[in-house]
């Protein structure tokens, strides 16, 4: 980095970049190695931690994964596309030196050359995630807004991955800007996390996490919570209040648009973040920085600045903070040679929603129990945990109403 380079933003230090890369690589490896648990650690991120990244090869998590050439190419591409390394001829280094420390250094060098954009990815309704580039100036504008809303917490406890846009804003950019520690709490039970909070902590999670966290635990003084990825049910708001959480901020947004609105109570509609301007018809939002935002959900407008959300337009279902698509799961089921037809739909309520499937066997005489037992591991090798049907019914034909329309079962 020469004296003429622009100053490096606080979130592009090795300690932060390594955390983002760890979550990104873990997510990609889950897709490449279904059913495996990738050994990519996410340590405590402290502003006082050394930025040196010259650990020996034997201690580098990426070096221990025994990647084959296809996996290496896939992971390197995911990193390059997110940080735009291929625009600066830095992508070759990812293949030449497959070490987590080296990849972090390469990302930082790329940011020194051009810190204008970063990309995030949707979960994808067809299994092909959509790349969503964002201007860094727009993300800085947003995280500055959240810092004004939340003040300076003692530390951040993160129950979400930091390579998705919500986690990146609240568990990378915000604490890096404020100079506070981040602790990854995903390896602990939610109720234990809340019970072990310390005064002034900020807990960043999703409705499913908070429903479990507040089941039988009390928070320390002045603990705040941020929730996103799906609407937080009324009972979770009430449980967090009963547990002594002093303030809950619910953020509504998407991979395509980043933050769109927020609210501070279950009864309140969402209020647009200050920079969004609704177009006539209010199906699209405009801003000075960044691209327009097109509605992914059904918006009911209370007035020009406030709205309520009534379900997805693309058929996605929220399961444990993830968008899953019943149509994609059905398509996967139909590729099994023993399945002639299938239907997939959600069941359960609020944070307990999962998917269920109804399967018509190709062989009318097939044993239903044997087919279910065969499908469970087969689906586990092809779907993320949130996508897997937790109930599979088998019948001669798909359930229909007397009018011939699809029926529940």
HEC letters along 154-200: CEEEECCCCCCHHHHHHHHHHHHHHCCEEEECCCCCHHHHHHCCCCC
Comparing 341 with 56, which gets the higher pLDDT? 341
Task: Retrieve residue 359's tokens.
Answer: 């399967």
Looking at the chain, the whole-number percentage of residues with pLDDT higher than 90 is 66
The pLDDT assigned to 280 comes to 84
Average pLDDT (97-107) is 93
Q: How many C-beta neighbours within 10 Å does residue 43 have?
A: 13
CA 382, 388, 392, 398 dihedral sign is negative
The pLDDT assigned to 40 comes to 62
The pLDDT assigned to 127 comes to 53
d(CA 392, CA 406): 17
The 10 Å CB-count burial string (b at 16+, else e) for 212-234 is bbbeebebbebbbbbbbbbbbbe
The rounded Cα 237 to chain-centroid distance in angstroms is 21
Please state, in angstroms and as integers, the Cα–Cα distance from residue 375 to each residue in 34, 336, 382, 392, following that order. Answer: 15, 8, 11, 9
Q: CA geometry: angle at 62 spanning 59 and 68, to 5°?
A: 130
The pLDDT assigned to 394 comes to 94
Please state, in angstroms and as integers, the Cα–Cα distance from residue 273 to each residue in 120, 250, 278, 286, following that order. Answer: 20, 12, 11, 11
pLDDT in tens, 307-364: 999 888 777 888 877 888 898 899 999 999 999 999 999 998 877 889 999 999 999 9
The pLDDT assigned to 50 comes to 56
Q: How many C-beta neighbours within 10 Å does residue 12 have?
A: 21
Task: Scan for tokens 């939610």, then name that residue.
Answer: 190
Mean pLDDT of the chain: 88
Confidence check: pLDDT of 17 > 90 = yes
The pLDDT assigned to 59 comes to 64
3-state secondary structure of 247: strand
The pLDDT assigned to 48 comes to 58
The pLDDT assigned to 122 comes to 85
pLDDT in tens, 240-273: 999 999 999 999 999 999 999 999 999 999 999 9
d(CA 241, CA 254): 26
Confidence check: pLDDT of 374 > 90 = yes
d(CA 294, CA 30): 30
Task: Retrieve residue 261's tokens.
Answer: 């609105």
For 21-35, 140-154, 225-239, 357-371, which range has the lowest pLDDT when averaged over its residues? 21-35
Q: Tell me the CATH number of domain 135-314, given options 3.40.50.12780, 3.40.50.300, 3.90.76.10, 3.50.50.60.
A: 3.40.50.12780
Sketch the domain layout of the chain as residue ranges.
10-115, 135-314, 318-394
Comparing 38 with 220, which gets the higher pLDDT? 220
* Pairing mode of beta strands 131-135, 117-121: antiparallel
The pLDDT assigned to 53 comes to 45
The pLDDT assigned to 324 comes to 87
* Pairing mode of beta strands 293-294, 131-135: unpaired
Q: Which of 75, 124, 64 is nearest to 85 (CA)?
A: 75
The pLDDT assigned to 95 comes to 93
318-394 CATH fold: GMP Synthetase; Chain A, domain 3 (3.30.300)
Residue 154 CB burial class (10 angstroms; 0-12, 13-18, ≥19): middle
Give the DSSP H or E segment for 71: helix 69-83
pLDDT in tens, 58-84: 467 787 788 899 999 999 999 999 999
Comparing 360 with 401, which gets the higher pLDDT? 360
Confidence check: pLDDT of 86 > 50 = yes
pLDDT in tens, 130-152: 899 999 999 999 999 999 999 89
Is the pTM higher than 0.95? The answer reads no
Please state, in angstroms and as integers, the Cα–Cα distance from residue 311 to each residue in 50, 139, 140, 257, following that order. Answer: 45, 26, 29, 17
């Amino acid at each position: 980095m020469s004296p003429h380079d622009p100053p490096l933003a606080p979130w592009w230090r090795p300690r932060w970049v390594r955390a983002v890369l760890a979550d990104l690589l873990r997510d990609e490896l889950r897709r490449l190695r279904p059913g495996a648990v990738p050994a990519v650690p996410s340590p405590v991120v402290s502003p006082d931690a050394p930025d040196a990244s010259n650990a020996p090869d034997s201690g580098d998590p990426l070096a221990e994964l025994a990647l084959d050439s296809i996996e290496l190419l896939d992971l390197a591409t995911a990193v390059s596309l997110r940080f735009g390394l291929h625009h600066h001829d830095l992508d070759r280094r990812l293949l030449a030196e497959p070490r987590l420390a080296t990849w972090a250094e390469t990302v930082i060098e790329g940011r020194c050359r051009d810190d204008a954009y970063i990309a995030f990815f949707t979960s994808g309704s067809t299994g092909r995630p959509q790349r969503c580039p964002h201007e860094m100036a727009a993300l800085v504008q947003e995280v500055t807004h959240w810092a004004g809303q939340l003040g300076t917490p003692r530390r951040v406890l993160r129950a979400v991955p930091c390579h998705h846009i919500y986690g990146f804003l609240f568990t990378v950019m915000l604490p890096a800007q404020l100079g506070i520690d981040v602790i990854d709490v995903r390896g602990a039970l939610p109720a234990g996390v809340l019970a072990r909070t310390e005064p002034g902590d900020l807990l960043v999670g999703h409705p499913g996490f908070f429903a479990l966290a507040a089941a039988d635990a009390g928070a320390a003084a002045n603990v705040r919570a941020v929730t996103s990825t799906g609407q937080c049910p009324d009972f979770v708001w009430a449980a967090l209040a009963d547990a002594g959480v002093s303030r809950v901020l619910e953020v509504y947004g998407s991979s395509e648009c980043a933050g769109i609105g927020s609210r501070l109570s279950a009864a309140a509609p969402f209020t647009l973040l200050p920079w969004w301007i609704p177009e006539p018809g209010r199906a699209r939002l405009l801003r000075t920085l960044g691209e327009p935002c097109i509605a992914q959900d059904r918006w009911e407008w209370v007035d020009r600045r406030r709205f309520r959300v009534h379900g997805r337009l693309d058929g996605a279902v929220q399961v444990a903070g993830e968008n899953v698509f019943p149509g994609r799961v059905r398509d996967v089921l139909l590729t099994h040679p023993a399945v002639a037809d299938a239907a997939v739909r959600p069941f359960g309520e609020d944070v307990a929603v999962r998917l269920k499937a109804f399967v018509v066997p190709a062989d009318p005489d097939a044993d239903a129990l044997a087919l279910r037992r065969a499908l469970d591991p087969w689906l586990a090798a092809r779907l993320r945990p949130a996508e897997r049907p937790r109930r599979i019914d088998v019948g001669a034909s798909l359930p229909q109403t007397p009018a011939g329309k699809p029926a529940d079962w």
